[in-house]
Amino acid sequence: MPEAQYPEIRTLALFSGMTDAHFEALMRGAYVQNFPPQIDLISEGEPSDFLHVVLSGSIDLYSEWNGRETSMATVLPISTFILAATVRNAPYLMSARTLEKSRIVLIPSQDVRAIFDVDGNFARAIVGELGQCYRAVIKAQKDLKLRSSLERLANYLLRQQKRAGGAADFDLMFEKRRLASVLGMTPENLSRAFKGLQPYGVAVNGTHISIRDQQDLERFARPNPLIDDHAI
């Protein structure tokens, strides 16, 4: 892998604490690849051969069972995915596909495990990352089990609004079909859910969202940091 790419990867919390020697050992076996949109990168059930790092673009993590499919999460630059499968040397639990043209670093899993075995700082960084991932899934599960689809959508919009800077107007980051799957509903139901939020001052125009009455929407959504705050 070309050294020019190193800096942006090195700045990741996961890699910033390790020694130069270990980092370079990791990068030696790694390579960067560009993928077009809608390309399957990994399939659930396969052995975890590579740790992936998204440099640009975006990735959909999804799962299938019995002919059904659901989006589990979206990975945005710059971050890694399938870390847990790599460190446990276990099969992937989710599949991954590019949503758009994406630039991905592939680091052989055995190299990650080898460095992990000898570099305490790397192990500690992985703990930080895994702990965050774990807590993110717990939050998602609380969202799913404790809220109706209308409440999930309302809180999703409030989270997106905050991510987009907090203004009353912002744009959805991906297509509604996928949003529906992430929120655990059908596209039809999402359409109706948007209508169901109109009384609370939510206006939708394509991917553009306007929150006319912040107070009103929040009164309905009842956002909770232990579910919605991704920083803690």
Partner DNA sequence: GCCGCGCCTTGACAATTATCAAGCGCCTTC
Partner DNA sequence: GAAGGCGCTTGATAATTGTCAAGGCGCGGC
Q: Which of 24, 40, 64, 175 binds a copy of itself (CB under 8 A)?
A: 64
* Cα separation, 164 vs 66, whole angstroms: 36
The answer to whether residue 126 forms part of the interface with a copy of itself (CB under 8 A) is: yes
Q: How many residues in the shown chain lie near a copy of itself by CB under 8 A?
A: 50
The answer to whether residue 86 forms part of the interface with DNA (CB under 7 A) is: no
The answer to whether residue 177 forms part of the interface with a copy of itself (CB under 8 A) is: no
- DSSP letter for 21, please: H
Which of DNA, a copy of itself, none sits in contact with 19, Cβ below 5 to 8 A by type?
none
Q: How far is the CB of 227 from DNA (least distance, A)?
A: 16
* Cα separation, 114 vs 111, whole angstroms: 5
The answer to whether residue 110 forms part of the interface with DNA (CB under 7 A) is: no
The answer to whether residue 47 forms part of the interface with a copy of itself (CB under 8 A) is: no
Segments of 67-121 assigned E as strands: 68-75, 79-81, 95-98, 102-108
Element (H, E) at 8: helix 6-10
* Cα separation, 196 vs 200, whole angstroms: 8
Q: How far is the CB of 31 from a copy of itself (least distance, A)?
A: 25
Q: How far is the CB of 33 from DNA (least distance, A)?
A: 24
Cβ pair 57, 35 in contact under 8 A: yes
Which of DNA, a copy of itself, none sits in contact with 223, Cβ below 5 to 8 A by type?
none
DSSP secondary structure string for all residues of 37-82:
TT-EEE-TTS---EEEEEEES-EEEEEEETTEEEEEEEE-SSEEE-
Alpha carbon 206 to chain centroid, angstroms: 23
Q: Torsion angle, CA of 12/15/18/23, rounded to 10 degrees?
A: -120
Nearer to a copy of itself, 155 or 170 (CB): 155
Binding to DNA, residues 193-232 (CB under 7 A): 194-195, 204, 206
The answer to whether residue 21 forms part of the interface with a copy of itself (CB under 8 A) is: no
Q: How far is the CB of 149 from DNA (least distance, A)?
A: 4
* Cα separation, 118 vs 81, whole angstroms: 22
The answer to whether residue 149 forms part of the interface with DNA (CB under 7 A) is: yes
- Contacts to DNA by CB under 7 A: 148-150, 175-177, 184-192, 194-195, 204, 206
- Contacts to a copy of itself by CB under 8 A: 44-45, 63-66, 68, 70, 72, 83-85, 87-88, 90-91, 93-94, 116-117, 119-120, 123-124, 126-128, 130-135, 137-142, 144-147, 151, 184, 222, 224, 226-227, 232
